[in-house]
Amino acid sequence: MPSQLFAENYLEKLSQCPYCSSGDLFFLLQASDRLGEKPGIFYLEKCRHCALVFQNPRVREENISFYYNIGPYAFLPLASKEEEKSGFWQQIQKRTLIEHFGYSTGKKNSLLYLLTFPFKRILKIKSFPDFKKQGNLLEIGCSNGDFLLQLKTLGWKVKGIEMAEASSDFGRNIRGLDIENKRIEECSFKNQEFDAIVLRMVLEHLYQPFDSLKEITAWLKKDGQLVFSIPYFNGFEFQLFKSYSYGLQLPTHITFFNKKIIKEVLENLGYQKIKFYHHFFERDIVASAEYKYQDLGKYWWKVIARNKAIRTFVIKPFVILLSLFGKTSRVTIYAQKN
Ligand SMILES: [Zn+2]
């Protein structure tokens, strides 16, 4: 496969911006595949007209599976992360969902409403949709069904699609979830089939993200909720670490959106109540600093990357603060279909 990497047609060069079709593009940065450590150098360009950032030239779609671990889009099934969490956190989460997301299996309580308010933001970042009784929910790129399982327990009728065969098999066969091993383009859901559609860190991997959003919107009911998370290239971590950014993840990340474009696309598709929730994921600083340290060997990058006290008492509070100001490099977006 690596020899194929340098074949003339391995990459494709786009002459126009995939969003606004402008030909006024400029080179932004180049980087290697830090995450998968596969060979090759990959490039990002930016559109002068709409400021979309995208891989260009990009790995052709038929060649991209090589960069997703082993086999076609295969992520190994992992144990549920939620199972490892403490019972106390589960209780807080449940209470927050009741008080702030309409998961009204319990009675509302004004004191608990206030006490759980700080956790609302965390669950927004985690992409929990507002509850709809007997609602149908679709997760696109659901991996092994970790999140779907939680949502099912909370009362949703859930369905998932996942490109990675091993992950979708695990979710279906071991967990008994309704997961199909499919890509968005292969789906034939009915118009207005779902009350909520969730995509967590998926859109940036797609080759036709704007067409996909349009298609997804058709599957959503009126007043249905779309919830998705994406890397945010204008965020602090990307701007500081540039080609060393942990969130870059080239070449599997194809497109980096900005808020103006996301807002415009969603409004044109008929969404309202568009809201952005910035993550506070200190790994975006810690792992990026590790890349810098490995390449440049500076003492301070090592401290940022590896000192646990610095991570807990400096970096974590710092990213929480950044997220409150909307400046971190990952964001979850909520929108309601008109
Ligand atoms: Zn453009």
pLDDT tens digits, one per residue of 258-294: 999 999 999 999 999 999 999 999 999 999 999 999 9
The residue written with tokens 């969730």 in the block is 198
Q: What is the pLDDT of residues 163-180, one digit of tens each?
A: 988 889 999 999 999 999
Query: What pLDDT, on a 0 to 100 scale, did the predictor assign at position 104?
Result: 80
Query: What pLDDT, on a 0 to 100 scale, did the predictor assign at position 85?
Result: 66
pTM of the model: 0.93
- Burial class for 64, CB neighbours closer than 10 Å (0-12, 13-18, 19+): middle
pLDDT band at 254 (very low <50, low <70, confident <90, very high): very high
β partners of residue 25: 47
Cα(186) to centroid of ligand 1, in Å? 27
pLDDT band at 72 (very low <50, low <70, confident <90, very high): very low
Cα(219) to centroid of ligand 1, in Å? 27
Query: What pLDDT, on a 0 to 100 scale, did the predictor assign at position 77?
Result: 55
- Judge whether residue 3 has pLDDT over 50: no
Specify the range with the lowest mean pLDDT, choosing from 182-186, 211-215, 312-316.
182-186
- Judge whether residue 246 has pLDDT over 90: yes
Cα(252) to centroid of ligand 1, in Å? 20
* Spatial distance between the Cα atoms of 138 and 178, rounded to a whole number of angstroms: 10
As given in the structure block, the two tokens for residue 222 are: 């009126």
Cα(247) to centroid of ligand 1, in Å? 22
For domain 2-67, give the fold: N-terminal domain of TfIIb (2.20.25)
Cα(15) to centroid of ligand 1, in Å? 11
Longest dimension (CA), the chain: 64
Query: What pLDDT, on a 0 to 100 scale, did the predictor assign at position 105?
Result: 64
Q: Pairing mode, if any, of strands 136-140 and 157-161?
A: parallel
CB 131 within 8 A of CB 102: yes
pLDDT band at 70 (very low <50, low <70, confident <90, very high): low
- Judge whether residue 75 has pLDDT over 90: no
Query: What pLDDT, on a 0 to 100 scale, did the predictor assign at position 1?
Result: 43
In degrees rounded to 5, what are phi and psi of residue 89? Answer: -65, -40
Cα(260) to centroid of ligand 1, in Å? 12
Cα(24) to centroid of ligand 1, in Å? 8
Q: What is the pLDDT of residues 7-30, one digit of tens each?
A: 567 899 999 999 999 999 999 999
Name the average pLDDT for the chain. Answer: 92
- Judge whether residue 73 has pLDDT over 60: no
Cα(53) to centroid of ligand 1, in Å? 8
Cα(37) to centroid of ligand 1, in Å? 30
Cα(79) to centroid of ligand 1, in Å? 40
Q: Mean of the pLDDT values across residues 202-230? A: 97
Q: Mean of the pLDDT values across residues 222-246? A: 97
| Helix 117-125 × helix 87-100 angle, to 10° | 100
The residue written with tokens 């200190």 in the block is 282
- Among left, alpha and beta (phi > 0; psi -120 to 50; other), residue 50 is alpha
Rounded percentage of the chain residues whose pLDDT exceeds 70: 92
Q: Mean of the pLDDT values across residues 2-8? A: 51
| Residue that wins the pLDDT comparison between 72 and 190 | 190
- Judge whether residue 5 has pLDDT over 60: no
* Spatial distance between the Cα atoms of 44 and 206, rounded to a whole number of angstroms: 15
- Judge whether residue 106 has pLDDT over 70: no
Q: What is the pLDDT of residues 30-67, one digit of tens each?
A: 999 998 888 899 999 999 999 999 999 999 999 998 88
Select from 204, 103, 83, 196 the least CA-distant residue to 146. Answer: 83
Query: What pLDDT, on a 0 to 100 scale, did the predictor assign at position 86?
Result: 75
Select from 4, 93, 14 the least CA-distant residue to 46. Answer: 14
In degrees rounded to 5, what are phi and psi of residue 60? Answer: -60, 150
